[in-house]
Amino acid sequence: MNSSAPGRQLSSVERVALKRESRRNILLCTPAMIVLFFAASGPLLVMLVYSFLTPGDYGGVVYKLSSDGWFRVFFHQDIFDETVSVASAHLSIFWRSIKLSLLTTIAALILGFPTAYFIATRPVKSRNFWLFLVTIPFWTNLLIRTFAIMELIRNRGLVNNVLMKFGVIEQPIQMLYTDFAIMLGMTYVYLPLMILPLYASMEKLDFRLIEAGYDLYANRFRVLRKVIIPLVKPGIVAGSILVFIPSLGAFVTPRVLGGGKNMMLGNLIELQFGQGRNWPLGAALSISLLLIVMVAMLLYVKNMQKNKGEQN
Amino acid sequence: MGSTVATSVIDVSKTFGQDKDQVTALDRVSVDIRENEFFTLLGPSGCGKTTLLRLIAGFEHPSGGKILLHGEEISHLPPFKRPVNTVFQSYALFPHITVSENIGFGLSMQDKPANEIKETVAAMLKLVQMESLADRRTDQISGGQQQRVALARALAPHPKVLLLDEPLSALDYKLRKEMQIELKTLQHETGITFIFVTHDQEEALTMSDRVAVMNQGRILQVGTPKEIYDHPAERFVADFIGDTNFLAADLNQSDNGRMMVTLPGGRTVETTQSDFPGAGKVNITIRPEQASLINGPSAADLSGTINNVVYSGNDTHVHVMLESDEPFVVRVQNRGAQSAQWESGQAVGIKLEPGSVQVLQD
Ligand SMILES: Nc1ncnc2c1ncn2[C@@H]1O[C@H](COP(=O)(O)OP(=O)(O)OP(=O)(O)O)[C@@H](O)[C@H]1O
Ligand SMILES: [Mg+2]
C-alpha cells in the first residue's frame, strides 16, 4: 500500500474502507500471534526471571533473588580459595559458537548459491523435482542424519577407509570430534535453509537483466557481482539469518560430532540445565545467546543499509 | 550516407530444439546493413526478428553461417566482447541502481576513467532529456522515461551498432509517435547504425532508411520504404505493407519490346518493372489509393459494382466487385462531396494511375 501524501484528507469512504481492511488484517494474524506469544514470549520471560534466581540443590530454582547466574556467565570463582577470574572457558565457547556459525553460514552460502541458481535456471517443470530433492533430508530425524555423518568421518569410517585403501593416506585422518566435523554437520543440516530462500529470490530474478549486463560489457564474474548478487540480496540475507541463528544455538550436531570437548553454546546451556544443575546460569547463558543474535542482526541490518547508502 | 557495410549477415540459420521439437527460426538469411543506416527488420510475430537481433548481439549462436562486424567475424565472441548494444523490448533496466548508474554501467564495465563516465552520462542525460531524474531509481519513473534511459544506456558506450527490439511497442500511441521522431533524430545525431525491429509496418516506413521484410525465418525483400511499398516483390510483402488489391492477369511482351499486363476485363497497361517472373499468367497488386472511381465503363481500366462503402475518417474505402468476380478496394479521399456520390449497388469504372500495376514474383 502506498503511503498517502502528507496532509491528504481521506474521504469518508476511504476511511471506512481503510478501517475495515486493518480490522481484517488484525484478524488474519491473531491466531499466529497468540501461539507466538505463549510459545516464545512466555518461556523467554520465564528464562529472564530464572536468570536472576538462586539454583536449587537438585536443579530447578529457589525463589531468592541473586545475580550469581549472570556473574558466572563471565567470571569464574574458585571453589577453594574463592579467587575470581574471567570465565575463559565460557568466553571461548561463545567465541567458538560465533566463529563456527559464521563459517557454517559462509560455507552454506558458497554451496547453496550455485545450487539455487542451477534450480532457478531449470525449466519450470523440473524445478519442483530439484526442490523436492533438496528437502529430502528433512524426512529423517536430525539425530539419525548426524550419526550417519559420524559413521562417514570417524577414524574407521567410510571416508578414511576409502582413502587408505587407495593409498592416499597411511593413517586415518582425525575428522570426528573436531571443529571441522561440527561445521560439516551444521552446513549439511542447514544447507536447505540457505538454498530455499536463495531459490525464492532467484526465481523472481529477471534473466533479461543478466543479458543486459553481458550486453553492456560485463563479463561473467562482473555480472555475478554487479547484477545477480545485488538483485538476490534479499535471499542471501534471509538464507544467512536462517542458517546463522540455528547454528549459534545448535546442540545435537556439536554434541555428536564435536564430542565432549568441543562444546558450543547450545551444549553449555544444556549442561547447566542437566548435569550442571545451575538453571539460573543456563538461563543467563540463553539470554546472552539471544542478545548475541540481536546484536548480530542489528549489525547486519546496519551494514545492509550502509551498502544501500553507498549505492545511491 | 556512407555505404560501407557495418554488419554482414551471411547465410545465417538458427534452429532451436532437437528432433521432433525442432523450430527453424532463421533459414539461410543474408543481409548487409550499411554504416550510419536506420535499418528495420519488419515482419509478423514469430518470423525470427528477435532471433536475428540476438544472434548479432551474441545471446544466441548461429546453427549455420556467419556474422561480420566491419568485415571481422564476430560469431564466436561472447556478447560482452562485441561493440554492439541492445535496447531491450522490456527495457531491462537495473532496478537496484539509479538512472545515472544505469546509463554509466556499460562505460564502467569497460573500465573507463571516472571523469569520462561522468561526462558521458551527463551528456546522455541531456540527450534524452532526463537530467532532472538522474538520481531516481528506475522503478520510480514512467514507461516513456524508462524507454529513454534504456536508449541512453545503450548509446553511452557509443556502440558500432545499436540493436532495438520493438522498443516502442509498450508505449501508448501518442508517446510512440513522439519517440519515433526522437529515435530518428538521435540516430541522425549520433551517426550510429541502428537495427530496429518492429511488426508495425507504418513505423517501419516512417522511420527507416531501409527495411527488410521477413516471414517464416526468411528475408523476403530489402529496400527503401518507397521501394518496398511501391514495388513489393512478393504477395506477402505487398499484403503486409499496407492495404492492397490482388488480381490475376496476363503478362506479355508487345511487338516493340514493352511489357504489357492484360487486366481482367481485357484492358492492357504497360509496366516499367525490370524484374519479371516470366511471361504468362501472373499475379498483380494495385494499391487502393492509386485507383480512382469514374462513372461509366468507357474510359475505365476495370469495371464492376459497388458492394460496400466504408467511411474511415480521412478517406472512404469503396469496395467494388469486379466483373471478373474479384474484390477490389478503392480509397477515395474525403474532400468535398467526392465520396458522397458513391453508394452500394452502383455500377462504376476504375481508373488506374500510370505505374500503379505491380507484377508479383509469386
Ligand atoms: N529459445 C527458443 N527456443 C525455442 N524456440 C524459439 C526460441 N526463441 C525463439 N524461438 C522460436 O523461433 C521463432 C522465431 O522467434 P522470434 O522470437 O525470433 O520471433 P519474432 O519475429 O521476434 O516474433 P515477435 O514479433 O512475436 O517478437 C518462433 O517460432 C519462436 O517460437
Ligand atoms: Mg520478438
Q: Are B320 and B344 in a shared domain?
A: yes
CATH code for position B174: 3.40.50.300
Q: Are residues A274 and A171 in the same domain?
A: yes
Q: Contact B140/B105 with Cβ under 8 angstroms? A: no
Confirm or reject: Cβ of B51 under 6 Å from ligand 1.
yes
CA of B176 to the centre of ligand 1 (A): 24
Q: Nearest chain B Cα to A231, which residue?
A: B96
Return the pLDDT at B100.
96
B28 with B80, same domain: the answer is yes
The CATH number for B260's domain is: 2.40.50.100
Residues of A in contact with B135 (CB under 8 A): 312
Structure-block grid coordinates of residue B210? 531501409
Residues B170 and B281 in one domain: no
* Cβ of B25 less than 6 Å from ligand 1: yes
CB of B6 within 8 A of CB of B33? yes
Q: How many domains does chain B have?
A: 2
Q: Are residues A138 and A193 in the same domain?
A: yes
Domain co-membership, B178 together with B45: yes
Q: How far apart are CA A14 and CA A23, in angstroms?
A: 14
Q: In this predicted structure, what is the pLDDT of residue A4?
A: 45
Kindly state whether residues A269 and A150 are assigned to the same domain: yes
- Report, as ranges of residue numbers, the positions in chain B whose pLDDT lies below 50: 1-2
For residue B109, list chain A residues with Cβ-Cβ distance below 8 A: 213, 216-218, 222, 226
| CB spacing of A214 vs B92 below 8 angstroms | no
Pair (A137, A281) in one structural domain? yes
Q: Stretch A33-60: mean pLDDT, rounded?
A: 89
Residues B223 and B344 in one domain: no
Q: Is A23 found in the same domain as A152? A: no
Domain match, A29 and A124 both: no
What is the distance between the alpha carbons of residues B296 and B280, in angstroms, rounded to a whole number? 30
Write out chain B residues lying below 8 Å of A219, CB-based. Answer: 78, 80
B211/B337 same-domain check: no
A305 to chain B, minimum CA–CA distance in Å? 13
Contacts of B133 (CB under 8 A, 6+ apart): B99, B141, B145
Is B230 in the same domain as B278?
A: no
Q: Write out pLDDT tens, residues B3-50.
A: 689 999 999 999 998 888 899 999 999 999 999 999 999 999 999 999
Q: Which domain holds residue A293?
A: 88-311
In total, the C-beta contacts within 8 angstroms joining chain A to chain B are: 66
Which of B58, B81, B106 lies closest to A216 in CB terms?
B106
Same domain, A113 and A247: yes
Does ligand 1 have an atom closer than 6 angstroms to the CB of B14? no
pTM of the model: 0.82
**Please, which contacts does A47-50 make with residues 24 or more away whose CB atoms are closer than 8 Å?**
A47/A283, A47/A286, A47/A287, A48/A283, A48/A287, A50/A279, A50/A280, A50/A283
Total domains in the fold of chain A: 2
Q: Which residues contact B74 (CB under 8 A, 6 or more apart)?
A: B58, B67, B68, B82
Asked if residue B11 and residue B134 are part of one domain, the reply reads yes
Least confident of A18-22, A208-212, B75-79: A18-22
Q: What is the average pLDDT score of chain A?
A: 89
Can you spell out the DSSP letters for B19-82? GGG-EEEEEEEEEEEETT-EEEEE--TTSSHHHHHHHHHTSS--SEEEEEETTEE-TTS-GGGS
Q: What is the mean pLDDT of residues A191-204?
A: 95
Same domain, B128 and B167: yes
Q: A165 and A258 share a domain?
A: yes
Beta bridge partners of B66: B10
In a domain, A69, yes or no: no
Cα distance between the two ends of chain A: 24
Q: For residue A36, tell me if it sits in a domain.
A: yes
Task: Name the band, by pLDDT with cuts 50, 70 and 90, for residue A162.
Answer: very high
- The pLDDT, as a whole number, for residue B36 is 93
A184 and A236 assigned to the same domain: yes
Separation of CA A50 from chain center: 25
- Do A172 and A294 lie in a common domain? yes
Question: Any idea which of A105-114, A157-166, B336-345 has the lowest mean pLDDT?
Answer: B336-345
pLDDT of residue B297: 66
Over residues A232-272, the pLDDT tens digits come to 999 999 999 999 999 999 989 999 998 878 889 999 999 99
Chain B: which residues have CB within 8 Å of chain A? Answer: 57-59, 78-81, 84-86, 88, 90, 92-98, 101, 105-106, 109-110, 135, 153-154, 157
Residue A260: CATH number of its domain: 1.10.3720.10
Q: Does the distance separating the beta carbons of B92 and A311 come in below 8 Å? A: no
Nearest to A218 among B80, B93, B154 (CB): B80
* Closest ligand 1 atom to Cα of B44: 25
Which residue range(s) make up the domain with B340? 243-359
Does residue A273 fall inside a structural domain? yes
Last residue of a domain, one of B179, B202, B236: B236
Looking at beta carbons, which residues of chain A come within 8 Å of B110? Answer: 217
Let me know if residue A83 belongs to a domain.
no
Q: For an interface test with A, give the residue of B91, B96, B162 to mutate (most A CBs within 10 A).
A: B96
d(C-alpha B136, C-alpha B314), whole Å: 43
Residue ending a domain, among B236, B258, B291, is: B236
Q: Is A135 exposed, middle or buried (0-12, 13-18, 19+ CB in 10 A)?
A: exposed
Residue A117 phi, psi (nearest 5)? -65, -40
Residues B248, B203 share a domain: no
Residues A135 and A31 in one domain: no
Q: Domain for residue A134, yes or no?
A: yes
pLDDT attached to residue B3: 63
Q: Return the DSSP state at B300.
A: -
Instruction: Check residue A205 and give its pLDDT.
Output: 92
Cα separation, B200 vs B176, whole angstroms: 11
- Whether A77 is in a domain gets the answer no
Report if residue A302 sits inside a domain: yes
Does residue B247 share a domain with residue B120? no
State the smallest CA–CA distance between residue A200 and chain B in angstroms: 18
Q: Which of B190, B206, B236 is at the close of a domain?
A: B236
User: How remote is the C-alpha of A220 from its chain's centroid?
Assistant: 30
A42 and A179 both lie in a single domain: no
Please indicate if any CB of chain B lies within 8 Å of the CB of A307: no
Residue A68 lies in a domain: no
Q: Choosing among B87, B100, B109, which should be mutated to test the A contact, i.e. which has the most A CBs within 10 A? A: B109
Count CB atoms within 10 A of the CB of residue B131: 13
Query: Is the CB of residue B50 below 6 angstroms from any atom belonging to ligand 1?
Result: yes
Chain A residues touching B86 at Cβ < 8 A: 211-212, 215
Do B281 and B334 fall within a single domain? yes
The CA–CA distances, whole Å, from B180 to B41, B106, B167, B256 equal 15, 24, 10, 48
State how far the Cα of B262 lies from the Cα of B301, in Å rounded to an integer.
10
What's the pLDDT at A308? 62
Of A41-50, A226-235, B291-300, the least confident? B291-300
**For a pLDDT cut of 70, what percent of chain A falls above it?**
96
